[in-house]
Amino acid sequence: MSAPDTEATAGLKAFAVGEDAAGMRLDQWLAARTAPNLSRNRVQALIRSGDVRIDGKVVGEPKAKLVAGTLVTLGMPEPEPAEPEAEAIDLSILFEDDDLIVIDKPAGLVVHPGAGNWTGTLVNALIHHCGASLSGIGGVRRPGIVHRLDKDTSGVLVVAKNDMAHRALSDAFADHGQTGDLERAYHAIVWGVPPRPAGIIDAPLGRSGTDRTKRAVVPAGRSDARHAVTHYGVVEKFGARSDATAFASLVECRLETGRTHQIRVHMAHVGHPLVGDQTYGRAFRTKANKLPDDMKNLVGDFPRQALHARLLQFRHPRTDDILRFEAPYPADFMELLEAMRRLPSE
């Protein structure tokens, strides 16, 4: 009898070779051990691609003979997603030429296909809209995503159509305007009002210790800590009080770095999470109960984080012209803003 199989880590399986398996072909034995999840052809492909080891050494030959007492490990690479398909999805286009396209992304539209969102994304829409004008990114006819907005964040976003534009825009966004002409401004409606009219939030971000899909402010020395800096300014206060506080406020945020969920995490970190943010501001949702009845449901049930990419400026990678785009507030953001403006001041 062979020794029991062991599983080392996620995506990596280990199998002990017993006396009864000595002399058997590696592919035949491993296919039997992994059936019905893997076919013999699939096992052979994994062996040839270097994903199978015997006692830690890569074995690239499916016909290799097994030796009793050895340990066979099989690494299961992440499955590659299918190529995105073209889909006829309406887009609000602010600018387009042979090199790039600038859109006003609506809230609810995912930028790139991924787990749970393989269709209905901006990439699917762009493949349909741009068609043959996509000369390819990395040899593949697809749009070049150089920056992203969260699914429920609205506003200005630029996408490259070819390698030249993709490289130039990627470099500009990596620099975050520190030496170039890139300028980005986001508007957010947050609970309360920061104590100073303008400030800088300098706090490294990493994965949350309780939920790997979330980000959190972490110690700078932690292995996954990433430098993150947000500049903010208060644009408007709502329900201002005599003690200089307010029920809520409209703030403008400009990024010195571009980390995942950066504005949302940083504003929550300083005690002013975004209205509607169920990930980082859930604890503040009950504040809406203090509002007049005609506003309570609108504010308390706002279905997304109140964040809008208001402004984007960059230098065109081919013409060298400075392009500047501003996206008006979408209807839901404007309705929330107008409701906040009806709050009386003390």
The verdict on whether 211 is a catalytic residue reads: no
Are 261 and 280 in contact, with CB atoms under 8 Å apart?
A: yes
In whole angstroms, what is the distance from residue 280 CA to residue 143 CA? Answer: 31
Which phi-psi region, left, alpha or beta, contains residue 89 (left: φ > 0; alpha: ψ -120 to 50)?
A: beta
Q: Using alpha carbons, select from 311, 259, 321 the residue that is nearest to residue 104.
A: 311
If 0-12 CB within 10 Å is exposed, 13-18 middle and 19+ buried, where does residue 78 land?
exposed
Three-state SS across the chain? CCCCCEEEECCEEEEECCHHHCCCEHHHHHHHHHCCCCCHHHHHHHHHCCCEEECCEECCCCCCECCCCCEEEEECCCCCCCCCCCCCCCCCEEEECCCEEEEEECCCCCCCCECCECCCCHHHHHHHHHHHHCCEECCECCCEECCCCCCCCEEEEEEECEHHHHHHHHHHHHHCCCCCCCEEEEEEEEECCCCCCEEEEECCEEECCCCCCCEEECCCCCCCCECCEEEEEEEEEEEECCCCCEEEEEEEEEECCCCCCHHHHHHHHCCCCECCCCCCCHHHHHHHHHCCHHHHHHHHCCCCCCEEEEEEEEECCCCCCEEEEECCCCHHHHHHHHHHHCCCCC
Catalytic residue among 27, 150, 152, 277: 150
Which phi-psi region, left, alpha or beta, contains residue 42 (left: φ > 0; alpha: ψ -120 to 50)?
A: alpha
Q: Which residues are catalytically annotated?
A: 150
